[in-house]
């Protein structure tokens, strides 16, 4: 290797590390100016690391619970399947919050961005109160409806009750971080989630198994740790938004009800909430089909989904960078720059998930074997990873395009795409392949892979038409 080649390689490494340090430092940047690739990476690196911690928690949490046996894992899986409806609401609201905040930051209207953040708190409180009022008293009935066996209901009701009761921490953590991402404070949003999930990971085994002075609560201990960790993360986010150093500074006057801002937020979020409700209720439908094949099938599917989440969430973070850039550039009246930002983010995301796909397809049994030695659970989980993992490179395209629509405030387009691909295709196909064709849970995995692939192709076609650039929020 020549001296010139060595110097060039050293220079690239130095520039890479400098970019990494800058992205994590939390400095304020104008993402509507300068090189697009650099802007994407400055936002994407902390967002990917933020989601990486969320993915680490997803697998660590199920690892500790797996030590209690398949019924405990099934209880977590069934509860999470229902809670995905709450996550759908949080994600839908979060999309609206990010879109409105990023538009106002791009237009240099920080006062307007703070007003959006203030109304977000009221929506969080109202939604959480409703969820707790329904979910807490009906926890055993919810597990029964999801097809849980008696031992799963007996052992898992405490976990389900606590998770619904602590829904306020889920909503506030999602939405306050959506404010931070929309403002471009991606580095601090990363720190919030790392703190929340770091505490969660440490406390999980303590409350589950009664380590040291902690009570032994079994699977319910996982819910206690989750609520404590997320609650501390929420307090940390509120501290940053109120201490005067963030790009969006929240003050008491911003907490006054402002009907015009609230209605705008609800209008944009309606499509986002429906979008994710369709996707997550479809996931519930898949879990209902799988639950007919016993706790081992549920546990295998739950473990596989947690592993895929571990691989998938960093890509979600990268695509979230596209959402912020779209919103800020549309707010700055630079639609062509917004579009170029999405194509750059799509390229990075496809490269990342292609590498992930190789791991999932080649080593599925090894990955599932980290969590269980039960041969039935292992078989179901490995089959799920292999079949759904084949489509990861294509999913990267759809994920980024959907986030771009949401960042523009065009939440209706992903809603229609989800309706077509998940309700009209995935659910009937999963039931047919599993029951009528007699493929069992494998039929569910095949249907999921087909639906996600179709969604990606459809999103790419619609994105190229460019109507999202004209969305007003």
DSSP string, 309-340: HHHHHHHHHHHHHHHHHHHHHHHTT-HHHHHH
Which of 189, 190, 169 is CA-nearest to residue 86? Answer: 169
- Which of the four pLDDT bands, split at 50, 70 and 90, describes residue 8? low
- Which of the four pLDDT bands, split at 50, 70 and 90, describes residue 5? low
CB 318 within 8 A of CB 48: yes
pLDDT of residue 314 exceeding 90, the answer is no
Percent of the chain with pLDDT over 90: 40
pLDDT of residue 6 exceeding 70, the answer is no
Average pLDDT (77-96) is 80
* Residue 342 Cα distances to 31, 183, 336, 471, angstroms: 13, 18, 10, 16
Which pLDDT does position 339 carry in this prediction?
A: 95
pLDDT of residue 214 exceeding 90, the answer is yes
What is this structure's pTM? 0.77
* Residue 160 Cα distances to 79, 132, 248, angstroms: 6, 11, 35
Provide the 8-state DSSP code for 89: H
- Which of the four pLDDT bands, split at 50, 70 and 90, describes residue 73? confident
* Residue 232 Cα distances to 31, 239, 240, 399, angstroms: 30, 11, 13, 30
* Residue 330 Cα distances to 138, 207, 263, 333, angstroms: 44, 47, 21, 5
Q: Is residue 205 helix, strand or coil?
A: helix
- H helices within 136-247, ranges in order? 139-145, 150-165, 167-183, 186-209, 219-242
Cα end-to-end span (Å), the chain: 54
What's the half-sphere exposure (Cβ side, CA atoms, 13 Å) at 186?
Answer: 31
Q: Tally Cβ neighbours within 10 Å of residue 232.
A: 18
Q: Tally Cβ neighbours within 10 Å of residue 263.
A: 11
Of 52-56, 147-151, 186-190, 348-352, the least confident: 52-56
Torsion of CA 181, 183, 189, 190, to 10 degrees: 70
Which of 27, 320, 85, 39 is CA-nearest to residue 193? Answer: 320
User: Who has greater pLDDT, 456 or 53?
Assistant: 456
- Which of the four pLDDT bands, split at 50, 70 and 90, describes residue 17? confident
pLDDT of residue 20 exceeding 90, the answer is no
Would you kindly state where each structural domain of the chain is located, as residue ranges? 42-470
Residues making up the chain, counted from first to last:
473
- Dihedrals phi, psi of 324, to nearest 5 degrees: -65, -45
Q: Write out pLDDT tens, residues 377-427.
A: 999 999 999 999 999 999 999 999 999 998 888 888 999 999 999 999 999
Torsion of CA 54, 58, 64, 66, to 10 degrees: 180
Which pLDDT does position 2 carry in this prediction?
A: 59
Average pLDDT (317-326) is 89
**Strongest mean pLDDT among 22-26, 80-84, 183-187:** 183-187
Average pLDDT (292-300) is 88
Average pLDDT (22-38) is 81
Average pLDDT (27-45) is 84
* Tokens representing residue 445 in the block: 């995995």
Average pLDDT (160-186) is 89
Q: Write out pLDDT tens, residues 416-462.
A: 999 999 999 999 999 999 999 999 999 999 999 999 999 999 999 99
Which pLDDT does position 305 carry in this prediction?
A: 87
Average pLDDT (285-300) is 88
Which pLDDT does position 422 carry in this prediction?
A: 93
């Amino acid at each position: 290797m020549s001296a010139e080649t060595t110097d060039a390689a050293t220079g690239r490494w130095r520039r890479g590390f400098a970019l990494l340090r800058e992205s994590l430092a939390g400095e304020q940047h104008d993402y509507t100016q300068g090189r697009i690739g650099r802007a994407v990476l400055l936002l994407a690196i902390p967002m990917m690391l933020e989601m990486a911690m969320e993915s680490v928690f997803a697998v660590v949490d199920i690892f500790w619970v797996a030590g209690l046996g398949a019924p405990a894992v099934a209880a977590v899986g069934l509860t999470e399947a229902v809670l995905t409806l709450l996550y759908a609401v949080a994600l839908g609201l979060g999309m609206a919050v990010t879109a409105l905040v990023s538009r106002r930051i791009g237009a240099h209207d920080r006062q307007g961005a703070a007003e959006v953040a203030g109304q977000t708190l009221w929506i969080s409180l109202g939604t959480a109160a409703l969820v707790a009022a329904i979910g807490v008293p009906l926890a055993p009935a919810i597990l029964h409806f999801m097809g849980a066996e008696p031992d799963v209901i007996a052992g898992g009701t405490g976990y389900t009750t606590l998770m619904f009761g602590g829904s306020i921490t889920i909503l506030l953590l999602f939405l306050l971080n959506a404010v931070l991402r929309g403002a471009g404070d991606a580095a601090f949003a990363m720190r919030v989630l790392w703190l929340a999930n770091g505490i969660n990971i440490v406390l999980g085994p303590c409350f589950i198994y009664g380590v040291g002075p902690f009570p032994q609560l079994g699977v319910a201990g996982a819910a206690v740790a989750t609520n404590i960790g997320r609650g501390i993360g929420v307090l940390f986010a509120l501290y940053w938004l109120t201490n005067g150093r963030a790009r969006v500074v929240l003050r008491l006057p911003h907490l006054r009800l402002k009907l015009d801002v609230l209605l705008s937020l609800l209008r944009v979020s309606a499509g986002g909430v429906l979008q994710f409700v369709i996707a997550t209720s479809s996931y519930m439908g898949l879990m209902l089909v799988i639950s007919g094949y016993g706790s081992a099938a549920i546990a295998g599917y739950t473990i596989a989904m947690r592993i895929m989440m571990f691989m998938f969430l960093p890509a979600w973070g990268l695509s979230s960078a596209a959402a912020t850039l779209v919103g800020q550039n549309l707010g700055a009246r630079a639609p062509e720059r917004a579009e170029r930002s999405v194509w750059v983010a799509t390229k990075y995301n496809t490269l990342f998930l292609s590498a992930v796909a190789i791991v999932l397809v080649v080593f599925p049994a090894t990955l599932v074997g980290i969590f269980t030695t039960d041969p039935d659970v292992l078989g179901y989980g490995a089959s799920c990873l292999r079949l759904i993992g084949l489509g990861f490179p294509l999913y990267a395209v759809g994920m980024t395009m959907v986030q771009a629509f949401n960042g523009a405030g065009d939440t209706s387009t992903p809603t229609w795409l989800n309706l077509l691909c998940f309700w009209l295709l995935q659910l009937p196909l999963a039931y047919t392949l599993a029951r009528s064709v007699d493929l069992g849970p494998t039929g569910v995995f095949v249907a999921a892979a087909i639906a996600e692939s179709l969604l990606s192709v459809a999103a790419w076609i619609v994105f190229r038409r460019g109507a999202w650039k004209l969305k007003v929020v």
